[in-house]
Amino acid sequence: MNAYVRGREPHALEARHQPLRSHPPSPGDCDRILLNPSGCGPRQPTHIHSHRADRRSPRRNPDTRLGGITTGKPKLKGVILAGGQGIRFRPLTYYFQKCMIPVGEEQRPVLEYIIQLFAHHEIRDLVLLVGYKFQQVKNYFNDGSRFGVNLRYVLDHPQFKGSANAIVNAYRRGDISRDDCIIVYYGDILSDFDLREMVAQHMGSEAAATVALAHGFKVRVGTADIEEGFITKFHEKPELETPVSIGILALNGAVVEEMNRMYEEGHRGSFDLMGDVIPHLIEKGLPVGAYVSDAFWYDLGSLERYESFENEKLVERLSYLTGKDRP
């Protein structure tokens, strides 16, 4: 199937920092360096040719599988990308971390809805990959107990640029292991996706990764069919027939090991999860599953998208996450 996959381009701006070290900083170093957060910069839909690989029809290619076998049930862990500078959100992100921008009538941070979604689906062990204005995140959520989850923070390091390298950094620090099944969630996405159902599909298949996809994405510009230099049909902001990636995916721990190997082999620049890792797995012949859902989702990836967001939609679709019995 054809799918539009949500990618991230290299940083538009980089923070000033001290000379690079040969290893990531210890927690005690966090207050002594200025960070270059991963995952910021404009996103464009990336069109790739992908094959559905689910429990009914997994692709099997033993000669190209990731090395080693994990025994026992993998530990489920949520990983939230929450370190970007949010350049397309300026001027708001001069004062806020992007994932802390308030939404809805109750003006709760975007990240609170994400954390509550994980808690609702009983995924309570969460790792926050933070950087730019990370103090705002930590001061608000602390250890996560107020929200029924266990939070750990991994500070981005300038040596590990991009969404994939932010995960590699967490792996090298020991916050993610080969024995984990991780659910990666981009920190500017609101959704009521059934995370547990996606996990069940992923674990019940032989997929190395499973990407959450949705139908009904409308292109924000007009498109044209052209023959011999003339437009034969024009479509104003059409709805795509192919599903699009929404910034949620499941990864086996062995994939994170593969990402670490890719880093060691030269992916030292901005290394992107959707733009680099997923295409690499497909090219290598590893099964990449597709979890397709009609659930609500909204990408708050820019100031324009934020200003056009309808608070009524939040109340209608996500109020169950922050009811009166919530903090």
Between the CA of residue 254 and those of 90, 154, 260, 278, what are the distances in Å? 37, 20, 10, 13
Say whether the peptide bond before residue 91 is cis (omega within 30 degrees of 0). Answer: yes
- Continuous H helices in the chain: 110-120, 134-141, 163-172, 195-204, 253-264, 278-283, 303-308, 311-318
Cβ pair 83, 38 in contact under 8 A: yes
Instruction: Considering only CA atoms, give the Rg of the chain.
Output: 19
pLDDT of residue 264: 83
Q: Residue 215's pLDDT is what?
A: 78
pLDDT (tens, 9 = 90+) of the chain, 327 residues, equals 444 444 443 333 333 333 333 344 444 443 333 233 333 334 444 333 333 333 334 444 433 455 444 445 778 999 999 888 777 778 877 888 888 988 877 888 989 999 999 999 999 999 999 988 889 999 999 999 999 999 999 988 877 778 888 898 899 999 998 889 999 999 888 888 999 999 999 999 889 999 999 876 666 677 778 887 778 778 777 666 777 888 899 999 889 888 888 888 876 667 788 888 999 999 989 999 999 988 888 887 777 777 767 666 676 677 777 764 444
Interatomic CA distance for residues 243 and 264, integer angstroms? 33
Q: Does pTM top 0.85 for this prediction? A: no
Task: Give the length of the chain.
Answer: 327
- Give the C-alpha separation, 307 to 284, whole Å: 41
Domains present along the chain, CATH in parentheses: 73-213+247-318 (3.90.550.10)
